[in-house]
Amino acid sequence: MKDLWSPWRIEYILQKKPDGCVFCKGCQADMDAENLILHRGEYNFVIMNRYPYNNGHLMVVPYRHINMLNNLTADEQLEMMQLVSLCIEVLKDSMHPDGFNVGMNLGAPAGAGIKDHIHMHIVPRWTGDTNFMPVLADTRVIVEALDQTYARLKPLFEKCLVAQAQGRAIASKHRAP
């Protein structure tokens, strides 16, 4: 038997688990880097998953504490999908994945770890990223520290938003009156 060394997990294991919703508490604090918040929209924010399935595992979360998709307003839903698209562009630019898993787990039976505050997962995937570790050892290998991934992704959100805004301005100039 071989050991997998993951000393960062002890912090989570030993810490007192917070009361209340981690998303609500995290987005209210003015500590985006510590809370791994990469971008704040009007209705939703983008946050890194602290316990990722893969490197670059992001989530889009509404500010409002909502447990079902149909309880979101049309504006909240629209921005959520726009931010999912932004996350995909940022991850393509920075990590060059071969594909993505995108989705929600609604309710505990569906696998929701935080069932009372919906969130959309964006998980980059690479051909061959499912190796023997998860299959035989029920263990995932995350190859980059969260703070390093955060530092790499954060400036790319602003870069993509600026590029999108410039693209919209150019498109509006070329529309027929």
Mean pLDDT of the chain: 81
- The yes-or-no answer on residue 119 being catalytic is yes
Q: Among 127, 124, 103, which residue's Cα sits nearest to residue 56?
A: 124
The whole-angstrom distance between residue 131's C-alpha and the CA centroid of its chain comes to: 23
State the catalytic residue, choosing from 57, 117, 119, 121: 119
Residue 103: beta bridge partners? 121
Domains and CATH numbers, the chain: 18-171 (3.30.428.10)
Give me the mean pLDDT over the 105-112 stretch. Answer: 78
pLDDT in tens, 44-72: 999 999 888 788 999 999 999 999 999 99
pTM of the model: 0.78
Give me the mean pLDDT over the 117-141 stretch. Answer: 70
